[in-house]
Structure 1
Amino acid sequence: MARDLKLFPRVHRQPFRRRSRALAATAAAIAIGGTVLTEVPVSAAGKPKGHDVSSHQKNVDWQSAKAKSATFVYVKATESHTYRSPYFSRQYAGSRAAGLIRGACHFALPDRPSGITQARYFVRNGGAWRAEGWTLPPALDIEYNPYGKQKCHGLGKARMAGWITAFSDEVNRLTGRRPVSYTTAHWWNTCTNSSSAFTSRHALWLARYNAADPGALPSGGRKLWTFWQYDNSGSLPGDQNLFNGTSAQLKRFAQGA
């Protein structure tokens, strides 16, 4: 996703994954090789294509995205407890009008207010869910701190796992769905000590670039990824993603399966 911050006006606003240059470099350092991908990886051919956008993409041409085989999209809604993307409403409504299954995403800053506070802000500002088959579960984007030297936001591993638990429990209480976890294997293993507390409850949205396949998953007993963000540019606006299943399974996942 993206950190489009009014919270930090001195930081240049970037798209979901443009801020991920450093994240991608870190991932590359842990066994990501090859060239930058511009097409869907051969190993994932045939899986439903999607993308994610933030305020950086502004007014997206959703019909064009649909024509290029987009089936789903995640739209950044909020960050921390004070920022809501000014483009969220039009992007969220526009993608649905074009026939895409869409969901909302929250960019976490765990060193700021509690997981409960940020979850409530997210749900109030677009992170809701309905079992009508067009709304993906709310998503939590949690990764290395883009604003300072403390990569894990200054939280110890147990506190980080506790923050995620609090966010997840509150989102589930308010919406009836556990959030999808967007992260990298390296961040998860480093900042949560490979926690297995969420393996059976959270669908995984894995970020791993410049690779022919998703590679190693976060430790903690997880066997499958649900979404894979495989590049930060391509034929669709924003970052490029795949769903690990069929179109029918994607629909059922949106419905609550």
Structure 2
Amino acid sequence: MPVPPRHRPPCAPRAALLTVLAAVTATATLLGSPTPAHAAAPRKHPVGTDQVPGMDVSRYQGTVDWQGAWAKGARWAYVKATEGTTFESPTFPAQFQGAHDAGMIRGAYHFARPDTSGAAQQATHFLDHGGDWKADGGTLPPALDLEYNPSGPDICYGRGPADLVAWIREFSDTVRARTGRAPVLYTTTDWWTRCTGNDTSFGDTNPLWIARYASTPDPLPAGWHAHTFWQYADSGTFPGDQNRFNGSYDDLKAFANG
């Protein structure tokens, strides 16, 4: 059965992955095996060696107790900045600054809407409203949130695999041309399989932020054989979604610096 979209208006958080993903995971072998690629951008530490706790938040979380999250072990965060070409999160400035003030390494993410406008326009909107990157040791590269269409039954935004891959590539190239960093791609293996046709062309260039609410992040989308970030739950120790960086804290700092 197709996985329905996550109903998520612009003001909502990056909600929990659908409970039906458990069923998808159980049949993951039917989705096809990722094509091996030399993933230079993602961290390559085996899961479990070093995992740095982190979190991601949006307007839904409102005022965040960043110092409290730091005290509980969070060392990094992603904050929603924009969606499409018109939405800017009203809580982004305070949340982004609050994470920094608490000592966290933080970055911004953009919720992709391939159904509403072109990729270059959305990337520019994102970069103009918080998505920029600088090698200051405290800023993570920009992230692109690719997930189920919140506005209709077509989870792939009415685009075929080749068209959607081209959209993602245009967004990535626009961000990279302006910041010097390829954006992190947030997705699920199910969405990537269904909507890109198991495209393998991003594994060498774009770090993977895998969303999978299970005991391991596997199976990964085609093209990646290692993940950089893993979102494993929508609630827990910290406000917002619960995440881990796949490496040590020194690795995280090095990744932030590019």
Same fold (TM over 0.5): yes
* Local SS of the residue matching 2:250: helix
Q: Which moved more, 1:121-130 or 1:144-153?
A: 144-153
C-alpha contact 1:2 1:107 (8 A) present in aligned 2? no
Alignment equivalent of 1:111, drawn from 108, 115, 119: 115
CA contact (8 A) 1:4 1:54 kept: no
For CA contacts below 8 A with separation 6 or more, give which structure has more relative contact order: 2
Name the CA distance, whole Å, in 2 between partners of 1:165 and 1:100: 29
User: Residue type of the partner of 1:28?
Assistant: A
Pairwise CA distance, 1:112: 1.1
Give 3-state SS (helix, strand or coil) of 2:106's partner: strand
Q: Verify the 8 A CA contact 2:7 2:150 in the aligned structure 1.
A: no
Which of the numbers 216, 220, 228 marks the counterpart of 2:219?
A: 216
Distance 1:185 1:49 in 2: 22
- 1:184-223 alignment runs, 5 A limit: 184-209=188-213, 211-220=214-223, 222-223=224-225
Q: Quick check: 1:245 aligned with 2:243?
A: no
Structure 1 unpaired stretches of 5+: 6-12, 34-42
Contact 2:137–2:253 (Cα < 8 Å) also in 1:
yes
**TM, length-normalised to structure 2:** 0.87
C-alpha change, 1:153 and 1:44, in structure 2 (3 Å) is same
* Deviations 1:63-114, CA, capped at 9 Å, x for gaps: 0000000000000000000000000000001100110000000000101110
Amino acid at match of 1:216: P
In structure 2, what is the equivalent of residue 37 of structure 1?
Answer: none
State percent identity of aligned pairs.
Answer: 49
- Equivalent position amino acid for 1:182 in 2: Y
Instruction: Please state how far the C-alpha of 1:32 moved relative to its aligned partner.
Output: 5.5
The answer as to whether partners of 1:57 and 1:238 remain within 8 angstroms in 2 is: yes
2:238 pairs, out of 232, 236, 239, with: 236
Give the Cα separation in 2 of the matches to 1:14 and 1:29: 25
* Alpha-carbon contact 1:233-1:239 (below 8 Å) kept: yes
Return the alpha-carbon distance in structure 2 between the equivalents of residues 2 and 247 of structure 1. 34
Report the equivalent of 1:16: 14
Aligned residue-pair number: 234
How far apart are the structure 2 equivalents of 1:2 and 1:100?
A: 30
Unaligned runs of 5+ residues in structure 2 are 1-5, 28-46
Aligned to 1:130: 134
Matched, 1:175 2:169: no
How far residue 14 of structure 1 moved from its aligned partner, in angstroms, is 2.5
TM-superposed CA distance for 1:143, in Å, is 1.0
Q: C-alpha separation between the residues in 2 aligned to 1:26 and 1:252?
A: 36
What is the one-letter code of the residue matched to 2:207?
A: A
Q: Which residue type is aligned with residue 16 of structure 1?
A: R
Aligned counterpart for 2:149 among listed residues 141, 145, 148: 145
Partner secondary structure for residue 25 of structure 2: coil
3-state SS of the aligned residue for 2:51?
A: coil
Asked whether the equivalents of residues 4 and 55 of structure 1 are also in contact (C-alpha less than 8 Å), the reply is no
- What stretches of structure 1 move > 4 A for 4+ residues in a row? 1-4
Root-mean-square deviation over aligned CA pairs = 1.7
Worse-matched range after superposition: 211-220 or 232-241: 211-220
User: What residue in structure 2 maps to residue 36 of structure 1?
Assistant: none
- Report the CA distance between 1:46 and its aligned residue: 4.7
2:25 maps to which of 31, 34, 40: 31
Which residue of the partner structure matches residue 51 of structure 1? 55
Provide TM-score, normalisation by structure 1.
0.87
